[in-house]
Amino acid sequence: MFKYSKKLLDHFFHPKNMGKIKNPDGVGVAGNPICGDVLKLYIKIKENKIADIKFETLGCAAAIAVSSVLTEMVKGKTIDEALKIKNEDIVKELGGIPPQKIHCSLLGEEALKKAIKDWQSKKK
Amino acid sequence: MRVKKIYLDNAATTPLDPRVLKAMLPFLKEEYGNPSSLHSLGQRSREAIEKSREIIANFIKAKTDEIFFTSGGTESNNFAIKGVAFANEKFGKHIITSKIEHHAVLEPCHWLEKNGFKVSYLDVDKNGLINVNQVEKTITDETILVSIMHANNEIGTIEPIVEIGNLIKKVREERKERNIKTPIYFHTDAVQTFGHLPINVNELNVDLLSASAHKLYGPKGTGLLYIKKGVKIEPLIHGGGHEKGLRSGTENTAGIVGFAKAVEIAKKEMDKEYQRLTKFRDLLIEEIFKKIDGVSLNGDRYLRLPNNINISVKGVEGEAMVLYLDKKGIACSTGSACSSHSLEPSHVLLAIGKSPEEAHSSLRITLGRFTKEKDLKIFIQALTETINYLRKISPLWEK
């Protein structure tokens, strides 16, 4: 078995910003058929900034930790800043992810981009 | 606060019984002689090994010279499959096994396929049961080996070994009548049942049987292959000619003595333990279904090992469950891809028709000798809390 970092386990056992947002401005869902993970992000936008973000995730420790740490990284950021977040940044923030779990971090990046896109498309 | 540890992963391995450890200790200390040596120190080791062989042979109604010690279940399965394949390939190159075998059977078979053998992997039904008629239909005059596990390690389903054994016997007699020289052998991987269910090699009609000591409260690194007299088999490990030339290497005296002690204890306690664990198992299944929604049982409800519970839990993932339970001091396992080396979900759950989602959300709980009734209550409580919490996070669970 692989070993998870302390920070990853901390986010897994004590996830931040979990749950739904009522009337969200954007929702992004990313799923990975390899691992069976589903990651759902809800965002609230105010003055071009991510005012609130919450997640619901079905998945392994890495998927849940990615969701949790991502919400912390993104909260308060401008849309442009949020869009710049790459999966490598999430991995770094978690103090590393076992190689076979890297795809979980891609899910985080994907769900965030989809949520922002969802908001942009509704705005039009 | 010290968390009380509850070990519910006995299908993975069992703790060493203190009585086994006590029997082993002299052979890890003063009785270090090489059993092949002529001096008395060596001869005492030899005696201990041969006495152990006798105890184990008696346990499964085999002859002493039909028990071959190995390094464990994986080696025994490799030995049985590749050894029979190599020794009999001039007669036929067809092997039959099932889709739910342990990797220690499947992988040697895959390897043989790359080396010119043909292997049929039989389907099982939704409970994991092999259809004996299907075995019969798959046998050709090229078939030299049928390998079907006694009970499955993931879902606990107990296979109709007696019936398959009878079938193979019938095929053998029928080949004799037709004057066909190709032998056909029946191997069973009994790693999950040895010391837990009664095994009589004559009643099961098996020619080869694999077992491993660490699944019955013995030490790791010791196993055996029962090889019925007359079975043609090639050794995999060549060297000094130990185990009648079929498995070279200085014997693991302490391990073998421990294996025999574990067998002695199992022989004495097996019947009572079977009753006790069956009661616990049924109680747990009942409680889980009563307390938790969206749970399904994997494997046959009744034709299953007394210690095995395997469930799929809607809306949560297996690795997350295992880690949350571990934090609460409970050890169990999952067939989820996320916890495997390969990121493939359990081949057993997929073979019984479960969806990848169900396989990802599976949890295996396996009870053992040291499981107490009060552990069950603690486990149910921990499981309920874990599932409730993870479902709160899950996007795919609406109460």
In whole angstroms, how far apart are CA B79 and each of B68, B92, B134, B211, B221? 10, 18, 26, 12, 15
Asked if A47 reaches chain B (Cβ–Cβ under 8 Å), the answer is: no
* Residue B342 banded pLDDT, cuts 50, 70, 90: low
Nearest to B393 among A34, A56, A100 (CB): A56
Q: What is the pLDDT of residues B83-96, one digit of tens each?
A: 999 999 999 999 99
Residues 66-95 of A with CB under 8 A from B: none
Percent of chain B with pLDDT over 90: 94
Identity (one letter) of the amino acid at B47?
Answer: E
Q: What is the pTM of this model?
A: 0.94
CA distance B107 to chain A (A): 20
- pLDDT tens digits, residue range B38-97? 999 999 999 999 999 999 999 999 999 999 999 999 999 999 999 999 999 999 999 999
Residue from B107, B99, B155, B108 nearest B131 by CA: B99
User: If DSSP codes are grouped into helix, strand and coil, which group holds residue B36?
Assistant: coil
Looking at residue A112, its pLDDT comes to 97
Q: Do A62 and B338 touch (CB under 8 A)?
A: yes
Catalytic residue among A97, A104, A107, A112: A104
CA distance B387 to chain A (A): 12
Note the pLDDT of residue B2.
Answer: 54
Quick: pLDDT tens for B204-236.
999 999 999 999 999 999 999 999 999 999 999
- Choosing from B176, B200, B245, B338, which is the catalytic residue? B338
Task: Kindly identify which residue of chain A lies nearest to residue B392, measuring between CA atoms.
Answer: A19
**Which residues does residue A39 pair with via DSSP β-bridges, in sequence order?**
A30, A57
Q: Tell me, what's the pLDDT at B24?
A: 98
The pLDDT value recorded for residue A100 is 86
CA distance B394 to chain A (A): 5
Q: Does A106 touch chain B (CB under 8 A)?
A: no
CB–CB contacts below 8 A, A to B: 71
Q: Do A58 and B316 touch (CB under 8 A)?
A: yes
With an 8 Å Cβ cutoff, are A35 and B337 in contact?
yes
| Residues of B with Cβ-Cβ distance to A33 under 8 angstroms | 356
Average pLDDT over residues B317-336: 94
Active site residue A60: no
Residue B3, chain A, CB below 8 Å: the answer is no
Buried b / exposed e along B278-289 (16+ C-beta atoms within 10 A): bebbeebbebbe
Confidence of residue B341 (pLDDT cuts 50, 70, 90): low
- Non-local CB neighbours of B377 within 8 Å, separated by 6+ positions: none
pLDDT in the model for residue A33 = 60
The predicted-structure confidence for B156-201, as pLDDT tens digits, reads as follows: 999 999 999 999 999 999 999 999 999 999 999 999 999 999 999 9
Res B138: pLDDT:
98
Contacts with B349 from chain A: Cβ below 8 Å: none
Least confident of B273-282, B357-366, B390-399: B390-399
Test the B interface: residue of A11, A35, A104 with most B CBs within 10 Å: A35
- Reported in sequence order, the residue ranges of B200-252 that DSSP labels E, i.e. its strands, are 208-212, 223-227
Query: Given this model, what pLDDT does residue B336 score?
Result: 81
Which residue of chain B has the CA closest to A61?
B320
Question: By percentage, how much of chain B surpasses pLDDT 70?
Answer: 97
Sort out which chain B residues have CB atoms less than 8 A from A101's CB and list them.
338
Whether B393 sits inside 8 A of A100 (CB atoms) is: no
Of B84, B56, B94, nearest to B230 (Cα)? B84
Which phi and psi angles does B97 have, rounded to 5°? -145, -165
Q: Identify all chain B residues contacting A40, using CB atoms and an 8 Å cutoff.
A: 395
What confidence score (pLDDT) does residue B396 get? 85
Task: Flag whether pLDDT at A34 surpasses 80.
Answer: no
Determine the residue among B325, B326, B341, B394 to mutate to test chain A binding: the one whose Cβ has the most chain A Cβ atoms within 10 Å: B394
Q: Rounded to an integer, what distance in angstroms lies between the CA atom of residue B253 and that of residue B50?
A: 10
Q: Do B396 and A38 touch (CB under 8 A)?
A: yes
User: What is the Cα–Cα distance from B247 to B117, expressed in whole angstroms?
Assistant: 23
Partners of B339 on chain A (C-beta within 8 Å) are: 1, 60
Residues of A in contact with B392 (CB under 8 A): 18-19
Phi and psi of A54, rounded to 5°? Answer: -135, 160
A13 has a chain B CB within 8 A of its CB: yes
User: How far apart are the CA of A57 and the nearest CA of chain B, in angstroms?
Assistant: 5
- A10 contact B CB<8A: no
Residues in chain A with CB shorter than 8 Å from the CB of B317 are: 36-37, 58-60, 63
Q: What is the mean pLDDT of residues B104-119?
A: 98
* CB atoms closer than 10 angstroms to residue A34: 14
- Residues B288-298: pLDDT tens digits? 999 999 999 99
CB-nearest partner of B317 from A9, A33, A59: A59
Residue A35 has pLDDT above 80, yes or no: no
Nearest residue on chain A to B340, alpha-carbon basis: A1
pLDDT, mean over chain B: 96
Which residues on chain A are in Cβ contact (under 8 Å) with B355?
none
Cβ pair A107, A37 in contact under 8 A? yes
User: What confidence tens digit (pLDDT) does each residue in B242-266 have?
Assistant: 999 999 999 999 999 999 999 999 9
Contact B152, B191 (CB under 8 A): no
Residue of A nearest to B342 (CA): A100
Token match 């993975």: residue? B12
For residue A119, give Cα distances in angstroms to A122, B146, B208, B280. 5, 60, 65, 53
